Amino acid sequence: MQIVYGNMWDEIGKADLFCVTVNGTVYSNNGTTDRLVMGAGIAGQVEKRIPSAPFIFGQHIAFFGNPVGVHRGATLFDFGIARPALFVRQGKSTEVAPVARHEMGTKGTTEIVGFQVKHFFNDRADLGLVEKSVALLSKIAPTYDRIVLNFPAIGYGGRDPEHVMPLLETLPDNVVVYRYIDDQRIVDV
């Protein structure tokens, strides 16, 4: 594992997996429209660039995740790593464009994957969940050349990087962990 300071979005079309930290809060409209809460941090950036992403992730998590409770009208899930078959490629300038199903996994495409750090979106990150997600990512990592992950549990996760770093040290060498730099200062998203 290596730490890089920069903009992780530059990896679209280069990295095989683009892991974004997410929670396990899924709202449902009578079971027909499951939507993962993706309003802040890098998950919020994914939602802005790919408006269908909260629904794609929500439906995947509601189907494959393990429900662990209900809070404020939402079902809370435990899943660790969510892989809902959301593939993108670099569009014009900074755009991110979802690709057609037949193009999934082809050269120049990147799969967006959820890396769970919380159950309820408004809670602090759970270091136990981070450890579980790290273990699951480490398990699938050997089948990929390049995996990128935003530094988990900091920023909206509310954790100190010094407490999270020991959990990340077991990640394999093909995983690059990003810290975002904006105007020469580190910003935790």
Q: What is the pLDDT of residues 54-95, one digit of tens each?
A: 999 999 998 898 999 998 788 988 888 888 888 887 765 556
18: DSSP letter: E
Q: What is the CATH number of the domain that holds 101?
A: 3.40.220.10
Residue 143's pLDDT is what?
93
State the pairing for strand pair 34-36/25-28: antiparallel
Q: Using alpha carbons, select from 139, 145, 140 the residue that is nearest to residue 107.
A: 145
In whole angstroms, give the CA distance from residue 146 to residue 176.
8
Long-range contacts, 47-56 (Cβ 8 Å, 24+)? 49/95, 49/96, 50/86, 50/88, 50/96, 50/98, 50/112, 52/98, 53/86, 53/112, 56/84, 56/86
In whole angstroms, give the CA distance from residue 66 to residue 53.
20
Is residue 21 within 8 Å of residue 46, measured between CB atoms?
no
The domain in which residue 33 lies consists of: 2-187
Is residue 24 within 8 Å of residue 76, measured between CB atoms?
yes
**pLDDT in tens for each of the 189 residues of the chain?**
999 999 999 999 999 999 999 999 999 877 667 999 999 999 999 999 898 899 999 999 988 989 999 987 889 888 888 888 888 877 655 567 677 666 666 778 899 999 999 999 999 999 999 999 999 999 999 999 999 999 999 999 999 999 999 999 999 999 999 998 764 455 555
What is the count of structural domains for the chain? 1
* Token pair in block for residue 42: 């890098």
Residue 183's pLDDT is what?
47
